[in-house]
Amino acid sequence: MNYSAAGVVVEHITIEGLDALVQMTESGAIAGVVESAEPAPDAEASTPKIHIAELELTGQVRFVDQSRAAVVTLVMPEIALKINDLGQGLLARFELKARHQEEHQTGELLIMGTGHLLDSPINADLTMRLTQFELHQISPYLGYGIRSGRLVLDSSVNITDNQIKAENRVRMEGLKVDTGQAKAMAGADLPLSVALNLLKDKDGRIDLKVPIATKLGKFAVDTSDIVNTALANAAKQAALAYVKQALQPLGTLMFVKDMAAAAARPRFQPVVFSPGSADIEASQRDYVNKVVALMMNRPALTITLCGIASQADEAAIQMVEQSKVEQIKAEQSKGDGADDEREAKVLAAAMQGLAVSRGKVVTGWFVDAGVAVERLFSCRPQVLADDSAPRVMISL
């Protein structure tokens, strides 16, 4: 240890066998930490600066957060921290290695970087890598009811004058979320559960870029809200981009307001039919096959198929049902009580049957192409009073 007018220089500090408990109380404060009083105006000038040339620390850290609805407990049994040139006005170099054991899985954390750690405001650049981390342990922070899933995280973080800008690559596998919570907490137009199902590949893996930009102090207080928003936005944008690429140039993802729901429902473009027909037109087959391919590449995705007839079908149906209509008119002429109401019922039944057939035809096309029928749901067919295009809606 060296003393000078400029301050104190400590060549080396070693701390071994650390067993630390960091506990957040129900109020969100760190247990045992007392808020410091404001320093005197000349306190900073009178306090000698300390320069630690090298600091090495090993041991374990236990973290318990009681401020969440479900208590979060994390244990890092093996940590190794090394910092060079720690002190005010100094550019420190730091490296943190930690291991996290969860049953038979071993997660590892590595943080490396440089920064003015003891200055105000803080400036730093760092990279972080987290592997094999079980997500259910931090589900209370994410807020989406995560039941299972494993995370690999690679982050590049810049802190400039207490402003954080982070580029994160998030890779998840085996992710399962509570659908109800995900729908309630994600963007209203595209539920997180649907977005994630659009992103899961055949192996159940998700690869996602999640940028975060916020103030250092705000991130420390509102971590879950910031991460929730960033994850939901990134998942939505990535899902929309994937659908656009998979279906282009024939289709995309639309958001259609449902009168029975508060939010717009995500849908693929519909399969359009010729008036009076339940056959998939040649012009529509390439599009249907693209949706089939998307379903095959995203095995977690489910869809709902709804057959629709409209007044645009009426003229074509009248021609098909002409024999029944003529029979009704003949009975009318005999005076047996038949009237226009019977003719209308024949047409209505034919329209309803056409809507049903369209849904079944598209469902059959998907099943024949290899999509499991368990992933295909049907809804009550509709006969619309307008002359919009006859179609089958594909909802997520």
Residue 3's pLDDT is 67
pLDDT tens track for 291-318: 999 999 999 999 999 999 999 998 888 8
pLDDT tens track for 168-181: 999 999 888 776 65
Residue 232's pLDDT is 80
Answer yes or no: do 305 and 202 share one domain.
no
Higher pLDDT, 357 or 141: 357
Answer yes or no: do 238 and 273 share one domain.
no
Residue 280's pLDDT is 96
Answer yes or no: do 85 and 225 share one domain.
yes
Answer yes or no: do 263 and 214 share one domain.
no
Look at residue 33 and tell me whether its pLDDT is greater than 70: no
Instruction: Find the mean pLDDT for residues 227-252.
Output: 84
Answer yes or no: do 134 and 226 share one domain.
yes
Residue 261's pLDDT is 47
Domain limit, last residue, from 226, 246, 266: 246
Residues above pLDDT 70, as percent of the chain: 80
pLDDT tens track for 342-389: 777 888 899 999 999 999 999 999 999 999 999 999 999 999 999 999
Domain limit, last residue, from 246, 273, 297: 246
Residues above pLDDT 90, as percent of the chain: 46
Higher pLDDT, 221 or 96: 96
Answer yes or no: do 116 and 218 share one domain.
yes
* Average model confidence (pLDDT) across the chain: 83
Instruction: Find the mean pLDDT for residues 100-115.
Output: 80
Confidence band, pLDDT 50/70/90 cuts, at residue 5:
low
Residue 262's pLDDT is 46
Answer yes or no: do 323 and 205 share one domain.
no
Residue 271's pLDDT is 96
Higher pLDDT, 265 or 271: 271
Answer yes or no: do 288 and 152 share one domain.
no
* Distance in angstroms (rounded) separating the CA atoms of residues 375 and 149: 22
Answer yes or no: do 85 and 196 share one domain.
yes
Look at residue 233 and tell me whether its pLDDT is greater than 80: yes
pLDDT tens track for 60-76: 999 898 887 788 888 88
Look at residue 54 and tell me whether its pLDDT is greater than 60: yes
Q: Give the CATH number for residue 333.
A: 3.30.1330.60
Confidence band, pLDDT 50/70/90 cuts, at residue 186:
very low
**Total number of domains in the chain:** 2
Confidence band, pLDDT 50/70/90 cuts, at residue 59:
very high
Domain limit, last residue, from 246, 281, 304: 246
Answer yes or no: do 93 and 214 share one domain.
yes
Confidence band, pLDDT 50/70/90 cuts, at residue 260:
very low
Look at residue 247 and tell me whether its pLDDT is greater than 70: yes
Confidence band, pLDDT 50/70/90 cuts, at residue 259:
very low
pLDDT tens track for 77-107: 889 999 999 999 999 999 999 987 655 557 8
Answer yes or no: do 113 and 76 share one domain.
yes
Answer yes or no: do 17 and 116 share one domain.
yes
3-state SS of the chain?
CEEECCEEEECCEEEEEEEEEEEECCCCCECCCCCCCCCCCCHHHHCCEEEEEEEEEEEEEEEEECCCCCCEEEEEEEEEEEEEEECCCCCEEEEEEEEEEECCEEEEEEEEEEEECCCCCCEEEEEEEEEEEEHHHHHHHHCCCEEEEEEEEEEEEEEECCEEEEEEEEEEEEEEECHHHHHHHCCCCCCHHHHHHHHCCCCCEEEEEEEEEEEHHHHHHCHHHHHHHHHHHHHHHHHHHHHHHHHCCCCCEEEEECCCCCCEEEEEEEEECCCCCCCCCHHHHHHHHHHHHHHHHCCCCCEEEEEEECHHHHHHHHHHCHHHHHHHHHHHHCCCCCCHHHHHHHHHHHHHHHHHHHHHHHHHHHHHCCCCHHHEEECCCEECCCCCCCEEEEEC
Structural domain that includes position 37: 2-246
